[in-house]
């Protein structure tokens, strides 16, 4: 992707890296909370119960799909390995979270609204459209 240059480095390559690392880390750590119960998370049983309460059945299937998408997708995004796939999984997760969990709480994050998941969704869409940049482990969708 052509763009501005900063010290001889293409701006999107640096921008994508700067976006990938925190977005992937957020996604991975939220997945770790659900899969392993790490960092004060609910673990698989608690997350499965929550998924059931928002109307997804069978809850265990949907919960594990979301957990794998967050943990695995986060790792893909951090590494820049099939980033668009990881970002698509995350975007789907955020759309569902906005629709089923946050929408009823309004916009602002302090009330549990859509503000934070919306910015995460926007970041994921930017990576889907722009790709991981040059500083990626594996990019099967490379754009020249």
Residue 49 lies in a domain: yes
Residue 140 lies in a domain: no
d(CA 38, CA 76): 20
Tell me the per-residue pLDDT of 33-56, one tens digit each, with 9 for 90 and over.
Answer: 999 999 999 999 999 999 999 999
Residue 88 lies in a domain: yes
Q: What is the pLDDT along the chain (144 residues), one digit of tens a residue?
A: 456 666 666 788 889 999 999 999 999 999 999 999 999 999 999 999 999 999 999 999 999 999 999 999 999 999 999 999 999 999 999 999 999 999 999 999 999 999 999 999 999 999 999 999 988 997 776 665
Residue 95 lies in a domain: yes
Residue 136 lies in a domain: no
Of all residues in the chain, what percent are helix, strand and coil, respectively (each to 5)?
70, 5, 25
d(CA 72, CA 20): 14
Residue 36 lies in a domain: yes
Domain count, the chain: 1
Residue 7 lies in a domain: no
- Quick check: bond before 58 cis, omega within 30? yes
| DSSP-derived secondary structure letter, 93 | H
**Domain boundaries, position 99:** 12-130
């Amino acid at each position: 992707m052509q763009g501005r240059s900063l010290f001889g480095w293409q701006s999107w390559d640096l921008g994508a890296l700067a976006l990938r690392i925190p977005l992937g880390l957020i996604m991975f750590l939220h997945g770790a909370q659900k899969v392993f119960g790490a960092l004060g998370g609910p673990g698989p049983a608690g997350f499965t119960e929550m998924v059931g309460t928002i109307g997804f059945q069978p809850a265990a299937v949907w919960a594990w799909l979301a957990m794998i998408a967050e943990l695995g997708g986060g790792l893909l995004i951090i590494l820049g390995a099939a980033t668009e796939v990881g970002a698509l999984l995350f975007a789907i997760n955020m759309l569902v979270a906005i629709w089923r969990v946050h929408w009823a709480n309004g916009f602002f994050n302090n009330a549990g609204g859509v503000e934070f998941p919306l910015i995460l969704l926007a970041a994921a869409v930017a990576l889907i459209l722009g790709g991981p940049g040059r500083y990626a482990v594996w990019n099967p969708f490379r754009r020249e």
